[in-house]
Structure formats: structure tokens, C-alpha cells
A and B are shown apart, each in its own frame.
Chain A
């Protein structure tokens, strides 16, 4: 039984960001209901409408799905009945949209003062850019992250996954958990304005701090690996694979030098950037003499901070991650047995878990309206006929 057992979360979000946040809450035991827009109202671009797409499967386990047209009075009423019972609402619309729809924090908190209402946006609810459209790559650029990536010889390199979204999700989720805790004392809910860019900037901590205390604007490194320090870098091995080295501690650097029979390198741990680049070339030559997985054994036998650069299939067949349980299988009515990323939380007494598979689109509209909100079958049929729900 997870720690959030008994907490009802309503997810109004249309994109992965909001869905991922509520998925974490669901993994922690919350009862999550995603409120979709009826399919006929959807425009061409709706990431969550195909319930067998990998995007949908990736973020919707532990949730129920219903569809309501919020633009119609009767649909808004259905939503408000739901909001009255809810503990948390998450939305990711552009600032102003939920107000126009009449389902913003002011409106909902009037009927439910205990509601914890979280808006996740790129730039936040206010400020000069709050009305700008934006995606992850934009946020990474504005937050200065792209000024640190790639190498100085080329363009900034964007990341292969949504770092802005992830930073925003972590901010939103921690905010919601904090607000739920506060509510136990105050008896009241509150509003959370979670900005992905705010969060990204906050996560720059050591680089921002070096800038604040030293004054030099951090620059892109020279080496294409993204680091100019030989002791923390990426090296190519004989078989064309890559490994990473991270000998931040003198003791561990010594271990490496010993393990590769190069104790002459012991004094070159924190030398100048120029020497580090020379040292990088020297170490590159060493690492080119054996296969990746041979070198990685030094992590166990030589107490050296070394790890392989895995491809995704290697990740999921690695014995350590299999032991830790990175993947879980569920049965899906359309797709058969599918794999999902298991929740990483390991709480000893109130564990998190994948309890239910991703829902089919609007699979639970009738169930939620009937069981939770007390609508009769006849009323539900009528609402469905009018396209208020689906």
C-alpha cells in the first residue's frame, strides 16, 4: 500500500509532462483519473489520444481514463463534481486557459478549499515570457543549459530526452507532496505554479555557483565528450564501445593508475586544463587496448569509478538493473504482454508499485461517473449522447 493511498488526483494535462507527474503520484499509491477531451473535439495534434502509442503507454499506468467536454456547461458540471472530491488537480495549459474554461484554482477552491492545484508550464504563470509557446529544447536554451553542451568547435548539443520537462516534473511532484503535507496541518489546499525553466535553472547549482563566486561565464568544453578533465571523461575502447571514468577522489585516481600500470600518472589528477587534455590523449591510448567490458571489471576488482556507456538494450539486460527491478510486465487487452519502466521508489513500509496497466482511452468514464459521482446509468447515457462525455 503506497504512501499516497486514499489521495485522489485529477489530471487535466494533455502532454507527457503533466502525465508523468501524475504517474509518479499514482505509483506512490494515489488514485489518478485522467480527464481527456472527447475525441471529436481534438485537433490533429493530440499526443495522448492513441492509447496504444508508446507515448501513452509510457506515462499512464496506475490511472483511470474518462472523457469530458469542458467547454460545455454540463461537462463543466461533471468536472466540478469530480473536483469537489479531489485532493489534487494537475494542468498544463497556457496561462489563462483554465480561467476561460472556468476550472481554474479560484473557481475550484471555492467549491473545495482543500484542493491542491498545480499548474505546470514552461515559463510559469507570470513574467514576460509566460504567454510564449515553448518546448523542451526552447527551455534548455533559455536556461543556459545549451551553453554548456556540445563542444566549443560546434553548435550546442540538445539532449536526447526532455530535460526541461523532467526538471519541471520533479518540481511539480515535490511541490504537490509538500502541499499535501502542509494541508494536514493547515486544513487548506493551495495553488502551485511550477515552471520548467525555473526548475532547470535551479538544477544548474554548481555551475551557477561557480559563476556567482568566480564571475567567469561558464563555457562549452573543448573536447567533444563534454568534459575537458581527463579524470572525468568518456573513453573509446578497443571494441568501439565507450566507458566513463570519474576519479574525483585522489584515492580512486591512485587506484586507476595502479590498475592500468601507470603509477607515473598519480600526480596528474587536478592539473591545468592544457595538461588534462594531454592526459586525455594518453589515457585514450591506454583504453584503446582492451574491450569495454574488460575495463569495466576494474570497478569491482580495482575499486575504480568506471562504468560502461550502455545502449538501451544493454541497460535492460544488465544483471544489476535486473536485480533492482527496472522493468515490469503487465497484460494489455490490445497489445498482450507489455513492458513498462518500473517505479524506482524503494520505500520499506509503504512501497510504490505498478498496480494497474495503462487504461484504454476513456475506459472508465462510466465507472467514475457512476461509482464516484453518483450519476445514474440513464444520466450517463444522456450525457454521452450529447457528447458531453465519452
Chain B
């Protein structure tokens, strides 16, 4: 039984960051209801229509799915009934849209003062750029992270996964904010509004670069090397079989161990030497590492207590015994897809565990169930609403 057992979440979001946030809450035991836009309106977001598509499957386990047309008055009525029964609402509309639809915090708060309402956007609810459209690559660029990625001899290089701004900056900030607000509510008895900006969150991740910049005033730039690191002791190396592994010898004794192993003890005193020296050492080590296959090196270096790890592709990663032990993948049965793999929740709480309890729903699978069981609509009323396209 997860820590959020008994908490009910309403997901009005149309995209990844919102769905991902409510998935985390769902994994932790919350009851999550996603509100899709009826397909008949022609305005359902492309990513969330096909319930067998990778993105949909990846974001919607532990949730129930209903479809309501929020532009219709009767649709809003359904939503207002729901709002009274939930603890958390998450939405990701451009600032102003929820208000126009009549589903903003002020409106719902009047119905349910204990409601915690979280908006996740790229730039936040206010400020000069609040109305700008954008996606992760834009936010990562704007926050200064992209400009530091890659080599200065190349254009900046974007990391497609994990999504640094949307997910690490936006989603997790939202999840933390919601949890903190739920915690505060235990004392105050009241809900509140949470304004999450992915770019604000991404900027906060400059926890090493920003303090350094604040201290010495020098704006950091991309480094020389295409590996993204200019020091030999923390870098990516190519092995004989064309596979890669990483060294992370920050501690002096780890650096000494690797120097001894490759018979270059003359490198030991130059651990944190200047960049020309680092390049020299990197090239020398690269030559040595090109003489054996990756997995041989990983074993050798691991036995010698050097900070090493293989650089895996997805196939290797998911077959690695460590990940099997840590159970990073879980399988569920899906009515359309059969046995489906999902990323398991990474939470490991000893007393109130998180888990994947239910498979991703089919699109609008639970409209009737939610309206009937939770909101008290009769079958006839539901049929009527469906007939008018208010729900689906």
C-alpha cells in the first residue's frame, strides 16, 4: 500500500510532463483519473489518442481514463462534480486557457477549498515569455544547459533522453511541490496553487556551474573534447570492440589504481593537471584501452578498484543482472498488446511501497465507471451525455 493511498488526483494534462507527474503519484498509490478530450471534438492531443502507442503506454499505468468535453457546459458540470471529490488537479495548458475554460484554480477552489492545483508549463504562469510555445529542447537551451553540452568545435548537442527540462525540471518539481502541499495541508487544512516552470527547474540544476560563475564571474563554455569532458580521470573511452566504458576516478586512490594498472605511474601526480596534460593522459589511456574488449576492461578495472562502468545500449542495460535484481522493468498484460514491458517505479520505500498496480487503460475505458460509481450519474444520464458528445 503506497504512501498516497487514499489521495485522488485529476489529470487534465495533454502532454508528457503532466502525465508523467501524475504517473509518479499513481505509482506511489494515489488514485489517478485522466481526463481526455473526446475524439469527436477533433481536438484531442495527438500523443494521447492512440492507447497502444509507446508514449501513451509509457505514461498511463495506474490510471483510469475518461473523456469529457470541457468546452460544453454539461461537460464542465461533470468536471465540477469531480473537482469536489479529488485532492489534486494537474494541468499543463498555456496560461489563461484553463481560466477561459472555467477550470482554473480560483473556480475549482470555490468548490473544494482543500484542493491542490498544480500547473506545469515551460516558462511559468507569468513573466515576459509566459505565452511562448516551447518544448524541452527550447527550455534546455534557454536555461543555459544546452550551451554547455558537447564540444566547442561543434554545435551544442541535445540529449533526447532523459528530458532535462520537461522531466527533471518540470515534472519532478511538480511532484515534489504537490507532495509538499499535501503535507502542509495536514496542518493547515487547506489546499493551494502551485506554479511550476520547467525552465525555472532547469536553471536550478546549475548547482555546480552557477555557484562557480557567481564566484568568479566567468561564464562557462563548452569544453574541447567531443566526449563532453576534458579530463582524463572522468571520461568516456573506446575499447577494442568499438564499445565504450567510463572512468570516474575523482578520488586520488582510484586514480592511482588505474595509473598502476596501465603501468603509467608517472601520471599519478598529474591527476588534476592542466588541460594539455589531461589530453596527453587521455590519449595515452585511449591507446591502452584500444587493446582489449570493453567487458574485459570493465572486469579488470573493477577488480583493481577503479571507478569504472560499461556504457550500455538499451539492450545490454535491460539484460544486465544488476538491473534484473533491481527490477527496473515490470511486465503487464494488455488487452490489445499482450505482454507489455513497462519501466518499473524506482521508488524503494520499506514500509509503504510503490508499485505498478494496473496496466495503462484503454482510451476512455473508465468513463462510465467513474461517472456512475464515483459521481452518482445514472446509466441513463451517462447515455445522454455520451449521445451529445459531452463524454465519450
Contacts and interface: CB of A to CB of B under 8 A. Distances in A.
Interface in B16-69: 16, 20, 24, 28, 46, 52-55, 57-59
Contacts of B164: 163
B34 to A, nearest CB: 16
Contact of B312 (A147, A193, A248, A350): A147
B328 interface: yes
Interface string B319-348: 011110110100000000100111111111
Interface in B82-102: none
Contacts of B227: 150, 155-158
B236 A146 contact: yes
Contacts of A167: 162, 168
Contacts of B213: 312-313, 316
A138 B219 contact: no
A328 to B, nearest CB: 11
Interface string A53-76: 011011100000000000000000
Contacts, number: 506
B188 interface: yes
B128 interface: yes
Nearest to B173: A344
A interface majority secondary structure: mixed
B55 A224 contact: no
Given A308-B141, A312-B220, A137 B208 contact: no
A128 B206 contact: no
Contacts of B220: 160, 311-312
B328 A202 contact: yes
Interface of B is mostly: mixed
Given A170-B168, A178-B349, A345 B4 contact: no
Contact of B194 (A54, A209, A227, A348): A348
A179 B353 CA distance: 10
Given A149-B159, A306-B138, A174 B179 contact: yes
Interface stretch (A96-104, A239-247, A374-382): A239-247
Given A175-B347, A213-B57, A299-B132, A310 B307 contact: no
A338 interface: yes
Contact residues on B (Cβ < 8 Å of other chain), bracket: 35 or more
B112 interface: no
Interface in A119-145: 123-124, 126-129, 132-145
Interface string B195-206: 111011101111
A189 to B, nearest CB: 8
Nearest to A199: B346
A161 to B, nearest CB: 6
Interface residues of A, number: 148
Interface string B340-382: 1111111111111010000000000000000000000000000
Nearest to B202: A344
Interface string A1-16: 0111000000000001
A14 to B, nearest CB: 11
A128 B222 CA distance: 35
Contact of B147 (A310, A323, A339): A310
Contact of B219 (A128, A145, A311): A311
Interface stretch (B241-249, B261-269, B384-392): B241-249
Contacts of B3: 178-179, 181-182
Contacts of B281: none
B186 interface: yes
Nearest to B351: A190
Contacts of B235: 137, 158
B209 interface: yes
A242 B141 contact: yes
A373 interface: no
Contact of B161 (A3, A204, A232, A314): A204
Q: Which 3 A-B pairs have the closest CB atoms?
A: A135-B248, A190-B351, A209-B58
Given A137-B235, A178-B179, 15 more contacts: A4-B184, A133-B248, A142-B310, A157-B149, A158-B227, A160-B223, A184-B186, A194-B348, A201-B343, A205-B343, A225-B157, A232-B135, A307-B138, A315-B142, A315-B144
